[in-house]
Structure 1
Amino acid sequence: MAGNPTQPTQPTSRTRSWWGWGWADAHPGDAECAALGALLPGTLARPLPVPRVGDLGIGDPSVEPPRSLAHLVTADPGDRAAHAMGKAYRDVMRALRGRPGRIPDLVARPTDDRGVADLLDWAGERRVAVVPYGGGSSVTGGVEYRGDAHRAVLSLDLTAMGRVLEVDVEGRAARIQAGTLGPSLEDQLRPHGLTLRHFPQSFEFSTLGGWLATRAGGHYATGHTHIDDFVQSLRVVTPAGTSSSWRLPASGAGPSPDRLFLGSEGALGVITEAWVRLRERPRHKASAAVAFTGFHDALRAVRALAQSGLSPANCRLLDAGEAALSGASRDGSAVLVLGFESADEPVDALLARAVGLARSYGGRYGGTAGPDGAKGGAKGGSKDGGARVADPAGDAAVEAWRSAFLRMPYLRDGLARMGAVAETFETAATWDRIPGLIDAVRTEVGGAALKATGHPATVNCRLTHVYPDGAAPYFTVLAAGRAGDEVALWDDLKAVAGEVLHRYRATITHHHAVGRDHRPDYDRQRPEPFALALRAAKAALDPRGILNPGVLVD
């Protein structure tokens, strides 16, 4: 039975940062920035000032919308500046240095499919580039315009389309508008006892449409790791017409139309709504932290867990540097953060089995036996007499990791104000390549940073998602910058990393999309016959080449 549409929650009164991550009031102050910089030799003596929109010298737009669309469009300088870039390190640094790139001429906020279609028609006629925009959290150059081939640039912000339109409780699915931000989406599903349970790090500042357009990785470390797994059907507005696939549990009828648009990054059309699979909200949760002296022993333990069929919701492995950075460990140990959850039955026994498996590979765990005789110590253990909280140190490690996970983007921006390079990149490869890949990235990226700056760099690694046949390593790079040339330094380090990934046949992106920053490596990764098909699809659906030019294809 389909439920009534749910009204989105009222927007918060807090202000988003136009130049950096998240909320403006959550950014580190000058003193905290200086303290962060002191941890990295070679950074600036004092933090760069917080940039101001008024210093950008934003001029009048090159075009004006027709009167029929004027109510959807704004030329406000602050709005335009906030839509000029995503939130990657290179974006933050460009804003701090007053070099944000091309500012969009207009920002549009359509409220329905008709508005999207009318804006695309007008843009095509006037040779205006259209850059679809959700929460603006792209870290790959996916929401900016580069070049000068178009007369003007329109940022197409979908967040005015932010409603859960229909809920099928029996079928555990919902029809949701693409501009719905993560927190609002969950708030609208909560009264139905259902959840999408897709929680990328950008959850608070990203939208369903953005997740779909970038094939985002989410909450689950095993099993349903990507948003793709939750899609029943898509509705996409293109310059050539609207594509609306049937809502089906599965189909073998030719190539999937949804697969054409999943990961298309706004280059083929504008995703406006989707039917997505839901699940009951979990009531039973349990988590634990297991420490390892040797990182490669921990890798073997994680591989065994991924192949065990236990399917933990969380199976994040932090190397010693990452564990220390997050506060999960202070003795040089690698830390495996495990978590299980369920809507209908206790999960303590599953956690106990996972911990036991990790211990067989040398993991250290301080929990005590629960009432069932199994090794316990679960954070948030169930209430039916299963294993209780018995490892305060492990609980503290889990909570430290969670807190650091959410705080880290703000600290990155604080380090950027000190002229440091502080950024991440991720990949995925098969298990036979994982150990060598991780070692090579640490050695070669760290060596390149030392050569370029004269100061040692930190290259940490964690596994964010694991599969029976491989894993997704996620790297953090911290290094002194080159004053005034920080973006070029990061681009050089990223190029070194890209060469390592290519050598190990590891994907250029596991869950952060291609955008413009990853284009050269993506072109090397994809098969040429598929590139031909993609170019043909682009030409057919976007014949005037206005949709997100430069993303995926030329």
Structure 2
Amino acid sequence: MPDVKHQKWWGWGYDGIPDFHYENKPGFAPFVLANIGLDLATAKVVRPPALSELNVPATKASVDDVAALAAIVGDAFALTDDEARIVHWAGRSVRDLIRTRAGNFSRVTDVVVYPGSEDEVQRVLALASERDFVVIPFGGGTSISGSLQAEDHETRVVVTVDLGRMNRLLDVDTHSGLARVQAGILGPDLEDALTARGLTMGHVPDSFTYSTLGGWVATRSSGMQSDKYGDIADIVKGLHLVRPSGVVTLRDLPSTSTGPSVREMIIGSEGRLGIITEVTIQVHKLPAKREVVAYMFPTWEAGLLAMHEISRSEAHPVFTRISDADETRFSLSTLKAPTTPLKKVASFGQERLWDYLRLRGWDTNAMCISYCCFEGSAKHNDREKDVVKAIVGRHGGIVLGGGPGAMYDQKKFDTPYIRDFLLDRNTVGDVSETAAPWSKLAEVHRKAKAAAHAALEQLGRKGFVMCHMSHSYHAGACLYFTFAFVADEGIGALSQYDAVKSAIQQSFMDSGATLSHHHGVGVEHRPWMEQDLSEEGVALMAGLFASADPGNRLNPDKVLPSPR
């Protein structure tokens, strides 16, 4: 394949990145055994087969089709080999990985092209319109909502457009705080290029390491630091959207009053309107100092009230986050065993702290860990930390300090690796996230966990469900749920996964929350669109897609099903 970074075809991350290991985490195996009934010492480990062992469907593209695409992008950048097509056939959702590992391929993309310019993207789309190809845009392949594959029934030639060669920082307007960037750039590469100029975008989604700017815009992404820097919809100030007939150019204006927002139509459109090739983003000077401080609350309810008060206070942290009791216990189970005298002393101090809290009347199985991040000058951070400390104290919490906070910063991208580790042992682990007003968060949390446990009980499975609150707004916040259970082997796990995932998603609707806060819609969240937007809202969106793409060629069936 071209010199473009790709994740391994069977899981999360690049091939060669070390897998998750639990041997140096003494609390992890007992936690997994107690909560989902999986004995890691005896569990059968099922590793993915070699790609050569799988039956990959042949391409439907003719020699002439491939030659026509190669004439646009170059022979080296129009690929039909099995590896290129399987890397691009799906994203990295649990459903995608279960099917990929089992070789349960349905509608694999036929040709993968790597355009090197906006003009080449436009010519590919024009050719697709002429020959009735389906076109699917591809960034880092991190979608977990089913946004990257064609539907099983699709009979037309499917072309995946990988923007990996279009990965440059084009221009920086430091006076305005704007940067013009090609959409195929990966998160780390973009941040490195900005850091070299003393700048940051501040957008750090969980998928940051492997996802692209264009993917963030196409799925309406939100990052861990959105409390300060905003969601991607706040960060985007201009963009280029390539269509079969030309290019939509939205200039880098701070605000406009020019009718319904075309910019808002494009953000989150998941390829249904065209391919995003260039984005102008707002950027900021690098902060003088960054600190993540950990806190502990006696209960989830106390922590939520504190997070709400912080959101209305004079302090403006980069992020505020709190884990419920179950996620707190899980996080503590992943701590490494102390290996130095200093770490052993710290570990002993933690045990003494737990003893102290019990003496104060805390139930240490109910306590919830929280993190707040502060950026700015030392004086600025100290002022904000004082405000937050006072709020934490009013709600019965305590300050744990910067040590646990630094550990959170180091581990913040680790969860997908744990998911793959469990999947190797026939254990399904996945996430569902939502957003709701502050007044409804406790109810959303309660109902989602109850729905998940009820679904697990009906399946006869022992499972675990945990949650954290993040991404605070004036009116509410995001709740991010993670669930895990031992499932049947192979494809048989999918119906069980669907039962639990659907129960959680429906509970969001029943509680007045949204179907997704930042993972997008794809096809996995599509069934709840009418409940979320109303019947007339869905009709309005369907009309937009039908008008913009009457041939139904641009990533059809994502967000809403296409008319047959």
Query: 1:114-168: per-residue Cα shift (whole Å, max 9, x none)?
Result: 1111111222222221111100000100111113233221111111100111111
On the 8 A contact 2:133/2:553 being kept in 1, the answer is yes
Alignment of 1:41-440 (within 5 A): 41=37, 45-63=43-61, 64-65=65-66, 66=68, 67-69=70-72, 70-71=74-75, 72-327=77-332, 331-332=364-365, 333-342=367-376, 346-365=380-399, 394-440=401-447
For 1:338 and 1:31, the matched residues in 2 are separated by 27
Report the equivalent of 1:374. none
1:459 matched to 2:465? The reply is yes
Does the CA contact (< 8 Å) of 1:221 and 1:464 recur in 2? no
Paired AA for residue 485 in structure 2: A
TM-score by length of structure 2 reads 0.87
Q: Which has the higher helix share?
A: 2
1:158-189 Cα deviation digits (max 9, x unpaired)? 11100111111111111100001111111222
Kept in 1: contact 2:187–2:211 (CA 8 A): yes
* Conservation of the 8 A alpha-carbon contact between 1:317 and 1:337: yes
Percent identity over paired residues? 30
CA distance in 2, matches of 1:120, 1:149: 18
CA distance, structure 2, for counterparts of residue 326 and residue 502 of structure 1: 28
2:484 corresponding residue in structure 1? 478
The reply to whether residue 509 of structure 1 matches residue 519 of structure 2 is no
Query: How many Å separate the matches in 2 of 1:527 and 1:114?
Result: 38
CA contact (8 A) 2:310 2:391 kept: yes
The equivalent of 1:3 in structure 2 is none
Instruction: Sort the Cα spacing of 1:345 and 1:551 in 2 relative to 1 into closer, same or farther, 3 A.
Output: farther
Q: Per-residue CA shift, 1:22-64, capped at 9, x if unaligned? A: 1222353799799697563157831112232212222432113
Distance 1:190 1:345 in 2: 23
- Equivalent residue, structure 2, for 1:16: 7
Instruction: Read off the aligned partner of 1:41 and give its amino acid letter.
Output: G
- Give yes or no for the alignment of 1:26 onto 2:32: no
The separation in 2 between residues aligned to 1:79 and 1:196, in whole angstroms, is 31
Matched, 1:521 2:528: yes
- The 1-side partners of 2:78 and 2:379 are apart by 50
1:438 CA drift (Å): 0.4
Q: State the shift of 1:92 in Å.
A: 1.5
Q: How far, CA to CA, are the matches of 2:258 and 2:158 in structure 1?
A: 38
Residues 449-504 of structure 1: per-residue CA shift (max 9 Å, x gap): 1320x332111010121122111000010112123311211111111112211111
CA distance in 2, matches of 1:471, 1:200: 16
Residues 487-498 of structure 1 correspond to what in structure 2 (within 5 A)?
Answer: 487-498=494-505
Structure 1 unaligned spans of 5+: 1-9, 367-393
Question: In structure 2, the residue corresponding to 1:406 is in which secondary structure?
Answer: coil
Contact 1:27/1:414, CA 8 A, preserved across alignment: no
Please state if 1:441 is matched with 2:480.
no
| CA-CA distance at 1:548 after TM superposition | 0.8
Quick one: distance in 1 between partners of 2:323 and 2:52? 42
Distance, in Å, in 2 between the alignment partners of 1:403 and 1:286 is 13
Q: Which amino acid aligns with 1:364?
A: I
C-alpha distance in structure 1 between counterparts of 2:287 and 2:6, whole Å: 32
CA distance in 1, matches of 2:543, 2:446: 40
Name the SS of the counterpart of 1:25 in structure 2.
coil
Verify the 8 A CA contact 2:45 2:424 in the aligned structure 1.
yes
Checking the alignment, whether the CA contact within 8 Å between 1:240 and 1:540 is kept in structure 2 is: no
Conserved 8 A contact 1:129-1:150 = no
SS of the residue corresponding to residue 433 of structure 1 reads: helix
CA RMSD of aligned residues (A): 2.4
Is the Cα–Cα contact under 8 Å of residues 286 and 348 in structure 1 kept in the other structure?
no
C-alpha contact (below 8 Å) 2:91/2:148 kept by paired residues = yes
Larger displacement relative to structure 2 (235-244 or 120-129): 120-129
Q: Aligned partners of 1:343, 1:209: CA distance in 2, in Å?
A: 32
Partner Cα separation in structure 2 for residue 245 and residue 300 of structure 1: 41
* 1:458–1:478 CA contact under 8 A, matched in 2: yes
Normalising by structure 1, report the TM-score: 0.88
Q: Distance in 2 between matches of 1:476 and 1:139?
A: 13
CA contact (8 A) 1:217 1:226 kept: yes
* Distance apart, 1:223 and its partner CA: 4.3
CA distance in 2, matches of 1:482, 1:403: 33
TM-superposition CA deviations, 1:191-239 (whole Å, max 9, x none): 2211111010111101110000111001325244311111111110012
Output the CA distance in 2 between the equivalents of 1:225 and 1:183: 18
**Using the alignment, how far apart are the partners of 1:209 and 1:522 within structure 2?**
23
State how far apart, in whole Å, the 2-side matches of 1:315 and 1:540 are: 41
User: For the structure 1 residues 58 and 306, does the alpha-carbon distance in structure 2 shift closer, same or farther, using more than 3 Å as the test?
Assistant: same
Residue range with higher mean Cα deviation, 28-37 or 478-487: 28-37
For the structure 1 residues 343 and 486, does the alpha-carbon distance in structure 2 shift closer, same or farther, using more than 3 Å as the test?
farther
Shift of 1:345: 6.0
| Partner SS, residue 424 of structure 1 | strand
Deviating more after overlay: 319-328 vs 242-251:
319-328
Local SS of the residue matching 1:192: coil
Cα distance in 1 for partners of 2:427, 2:201 equals 37
Three-state SS of the structure 1 residue aligned to 2:373 is: strand
Residue 540 of structure 1: SS of its match in structure 2?
A: helix
SS of 1:290's partner is: strand
Structure 1 contact 307–467 (Cα < 8 Å) conserved: no
Matched residue SS, 2:221: coil
Task: Write the distance in 1 (CA, Å) between the matches of 2:103 and 2:444.
Answer: 36
Q: Is the 8 A contact 1:326 1:400 kept in 2?
A: no
Residue type at the aligned position of 1:290: Y
